Structure 1
Amino acid sequence: MTDERKEGGLALFDMDGTLLPWDTQYVFSCFVVQRHPWRRLLLLFYLACLPLFFLGIWDETRMKRAFLCYLWRLPPETVLQYGREFAELADAWVYPELRERLQRHRNSGDACIMVSASPSFYAEPLGMLLGFDAVLGTDVALDGRMPLMPELPLGNNKGKVKVERLRNMGVLPESGIREGSIAYSDSAADVPMLLACGRQVLVNPSRKLKENARLDGAECLYPPTPWKNSLGKKWKIALFVIGMISISGK
């Protein structure tokens, strides 16, 4: 990103649930296990780890590493290739309203950055397809064939970590709010990023997020979702995890 971009307007976009409906980590696992059906068995390892999370022994970062077990023994070039192929599919799932907002910011000369907790190996190619100036995802170590629990060198790109990385890039000030900035998100985890910007846009926010006093005055967008209720959403997520939904049309 050029210095001129850093000094002008700024638009930050979360990805999952904001630019597109799903938590793409589940959809990407579906993408992989449909190509390697036996890899469904690897997800039993993740299920076995869940009690460690519920007991507070493991945190979200370690659970994210455990969920990536379905990539076990894949060479890094295959993971990167799958990431590029998946990004081309995910491009079609972006909410039209959010795509239009992004284009509007680009036309205005704003620096547009996608900031996601999803793995960089598909978040980055998707962000480039959408025309973002930069993409910050959760970096996954790709040093050789994938271990059962891949390392995340910079940690889980979520919550305060997003703000820290944006500050390290020089696009957010060390304290206070950047002038001419706006952040889009659907998640309460992104409150630190939302509050670091002058304007906030909430996408299909939960009641709790919408009623957060610190976000008073935030704009809300309600693009239509591919589920009717929370139960339907959870059911589809479960089917994604075990590779039982064709993702060509979402």
Structure 2
Amino acid sequence: MKKIALFDFDKTITQEHSIGSLLKFIFKNHPLHALPFVLRLVFSLVHSLLTGDFRHLKNSVLSYYDLLTPEEKDIFLHQVMPKKYYKDALEELARRKKEGYTLFLVSASMEAYLVPLGRDLGFDYILGTRFIDGKIRGLNHAKEEKVRRLKALFDKEKIPYNQATTVAYSDSYKDDKPMLDLAQERFLINSPVHAPGYQNLTWK
């Protein structure tokens, strides 16, 4: 029977939101773009809060990711981000891999950087928010959309999913409950929420 491990990324594997790490890196390397980006970001944030659609906000961020040169992207992916990972998360990934689990990285973060990061971490499958020609393709990859994409992937790859042999990890009960409920064992990482059927872990 297939053993599956589902992992969120931001604040589950990482100590901070990856989009924040990305913006700090961009502003450090391209300081002249900081002010125009902040103005654009405020507009996008207001638009997103009013409409409940955060695709506009993520489109703005992705447009600035493309400012980075290939060399800068390589530094961000292989030098900056690895310093942001919880040591306990890396140990848990290695343990689950050794136990024969197929590892899924399931995040709302942009696939533009999530995919290479996930590959470096040893994930078998990586699902994030997809972009085509600088714009989000489909829905923001969060909440129920994570479950929809996972089930579509299971069908496409003929992966025999069974709740009894699935484990899931996230820092957010509110945002990731739909995904966590796919698993028999559900872990909340550094979360103030204590819910029946969930185990709380403190990762450093």
TM-score, normalization: structure 2? 0.86
Q: Which residue of 2 aligns with 1:40?
A: 34
Query: Is 1:110 aligned to residue 101 of structure 2?
Result: yes
Query: Is 1:86 aligned to residue 76 of structure 2?
Result: yes
Measured in 1, the distance between the counterparts of 2:58 and 2:181 equals: 26
Percent identical across equivalent pairs?
A: 29
Q: Which residue of 2 aligns with 1:158?
A: 142
TM-score, normalization: structure 1? 0.71
CA deviations over 1:59-95 (Å, ceiling 9, x no partner): 22222223445347x48xx4x6544432212123211
Structure 1 residue 22, shift from structure 2 partner: 0.6
Asked whether the equivalents of residues 87 and 122 of structure 1 are also in contact (C-alpha less than 8 Å), the reply is yes
Measured in 2, the distance between the counterparts of 1:81 and 1:11 equals: 32
For 1:115, what is the secondary structure of its paired residue? Answer: strand
**Unpaired runs of at least 5, structure 2:** none
Query: Is 1:134 aligned to residue 119 of structure 2?
Result: no
Measured in 2, the distance between the counterparts of 1:138 and 1:84 equals: 20
Root-mean-square deviation (CA), in Å?
2.4
Q: Which of 99-108 and 89-98 deviates more? A: 89-98
Query: Is 1:22 aligned to residue 12 of structure 2?
Result: no
Q: Provide closer, same or farther for how the CA distance between residues 107 and 82 of structure 1 changes in structure 2, counting only shifts above 3 A.
A: same
Query: Is 1:10 aligned to residue 1 of structure 2?
Result: no
Structure 1 residue 9, shift from structure 2 partner: 0.3
Q: Provide closer, same or farther for how the CA distance between residues 83 and 9 of structure 1 changes in structure 2, counting only shifts above 3 A.
A: farther
Higher-Rg member (1/2): 1
For 2:188, what is the secondary structure of its paired residue? Answer: strand
Asked whether the equivalents of residues 84 and 126 of structure 1 are also in contact (C-alpha less than 8 Å), the reply is no
Q: Provide closer, same or farther for how the CA distance between residues 48 and 203 of structure 1 changes in structure 2, counting only shifts above 3 A.
A: same
Query: Is 1:179 aligned to residue 164 of structure 2?
Result: yes
Asked whether the equivalents of residues 184 and 203 of structure 1 are also in contact (C-alpha less than 8 Å), the reply is yes
For 1:22, what is the secondary structure of its paired residue? Answer: coil
Q: Provide closer, same or farther for how the CA distance between residues 161 and 18 of structure 1 changes in structure 2, counting only shifts above 3 A.
A: same
**Unpaired runs of at least 5, structure 1:** 1-6, 144-149, 225-250
Q: Provide closer, same or farther for how the CA distance between residues 84 and 11 of structure 1 changes in structure 2, counting only shifts above 3 A.
A: farther
